[in-house]
Amino acid sequence: MPENPSAITREQVAHLGRLARLSLTEDELDRYSAQLADIVAAVARVTEVATPDVPATSHPMPLQNVFREDVPRPSLTQQQALGDAPDAQEGRFRVPRILDEE
């Protein structure tokens, strides 16, 4: 396991915020670094019993791919799909710019 897992720095929290698309405030960086450190220290206990011979379980039920016939079905109209969009234009979602200037 990682060394000293309970140490979570402000910088790490800021990085997590960027990864998770959260524009955190200075106050939040302080608060979350302390709280996340406490929580991580508590949950790191899982490593005590997770020995290599234990297989992982990702889901409670044995899952298999579920297929259906590929036939067209009615779906939302364009108007319905755009009905709750924060911004729409010419039958499409309008988004802020996705590339840097120039």
Partner 1 sequence: MRADRSSAGADTNGPDADGWDAPGELPDLTRLTAAQLSDLLGNAVVSAREVAQAHLDRIGEVDADIHAFLHVDAEGALAAADAIDAARAGGEPLGALAGVPLALKDVLTMQGVPTTCGSRILEGWRPPYDATVTRRLREAGIVILGKTNMDEFAMGSSTEHSAYGPTRNPWALDRIPGGSGGGSAAALAAFEAPLAIGTDTGGSIRQPAAVTGTVGVKPTYGAVSRYGLVALASSLDQAGPCARTVLDTALLHAAIAGHDPMDSTSLTDPVPDVVGAARTPDVAGMRIGLVRELGGEGYQAGVRQRFAEAVALLERLGADVVEVSCPSFEYALAAYYLILPSEASSNLAKFDGIRYGLRVGDDGTRSVEEVMSLTREAGFGAEVKRRIMLGTYALSSGYYDAYYGSAQQVRTLIQRDFAAAFAQADVLISPTAPTTAFRLGEKLDDPLAMYLNDVATIPVNLAGNAAMSLPIGLAPEDGLPVGLQIIAPAMADDRLYRVGGALERTLFQRWGGLLIEQVPDLSSQQRIPRTSDDTTRQAAR
Which tokens go with 78? 């364009």
CA 47 to centroid of chain Cα atoms = 23
Question: For partner 1, which is the closer residue by CB, 45 or 102?
Answer: 45
Q: Which of residues 43-102 bind partner 1 (CB under 8 A)?
A: 43-51, 54-61, 63, 66, 68, 76, 80-81, 83-87, 93, 95-98, 100
Task: Check binding of 30 to partner 1 (CB under 8 A).
Answer: no
CB neighbour burial string for 66-101, b if at least 16 within 10 angstroms, e if fewer: eeeeeeeeeeeeeeeebeeeeeeeeeeeeeeeeeee
Contacts with partner 1 by CB under 8 A lie at 1-2, 5, 8, 12-13, 16-25, 28, 32, 35-36, 38-40, 42-51, 54-61, 63, 66, 68, 76, 80-81, 83-87, 93, 95-98, 100
